[in-house]
């Protein structure tokens, strides 16, 4: 069984998120999603989520591509998670290009950067709603 992991905040879930999860799942049989906790999201982006961690977790667990949701509490845990869950492939959006290349040196996982879904982002949605 090939195991895949990805990470994100997944607030205001949209079809770009679903596309990322679907494409991530195509790399293997079992998809683990590291979901940023409210505290970590505030620390890394200085931003409060619209939906709290438990609601975002519930949404992700309802998606057929997702097999397991775990909390992402800090940047450093990725290496530990890959080893703990015996991950074969680490998948993340290409807006993080090259940031996680080191994981190929410190774990057995292969790192993949997937292109963003065109014309969709939370920033765009919020801007459109405001009429920008």
- Per-residue pLDDT tens over the stretch 27-48: 999 999 999 999 999 997 788 8
pLDDT the model gives residue 113? 98
**Number of domains comprising the chain:** 1
Mean pLDDT, rounded, for 96-120 = 93
| Six token digits for residue 109 | 């996982």
Q: What CA–CA distance (Å, rounded) separates 5 from 87? A: 7
Give me the CATH number covering residue 107: 3.40.50.620
Whether residue 47 lies in the annotated active site: yes
Residue 40 contacts residue 74 (beta carbons within 8 Å)? yes
User: Which of the residues 44, 45, 48, 55 is marked catalytic?
Assistant: 44
Q: What is the pTM of this model?
A: 0.92
Domain, as residue range, for 35 = 3-130
């Amino acid at each position: 069984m090939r195991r895949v992991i990805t990470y994100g905040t997944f607030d205001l879930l949209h079809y770009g998120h679903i596309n990322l999860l679907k494409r991530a799942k195509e790399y293997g049989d079992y998809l683990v999603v590291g979901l940023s906790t409210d505290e970590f999201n505030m620390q890394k982006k200085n931003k409060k989520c619209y939906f709290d961690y438990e609601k975002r977790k519930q949404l992700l667990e309802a998606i057929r591509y997702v097999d397991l949701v775990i909390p992402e509490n800090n940047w450093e845990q990725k290496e530990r998670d890959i080893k703990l869950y015996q991950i074969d492939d680490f998948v993340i959006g290409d807006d993080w290009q090259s940031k996680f290349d080191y994981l190929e040196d410190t774990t057995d996982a292969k790192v993949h950067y997937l292109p963003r879904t065109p014309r969709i982002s939370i920033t765009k949605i919020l801007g459109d709603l405001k009429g920008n």
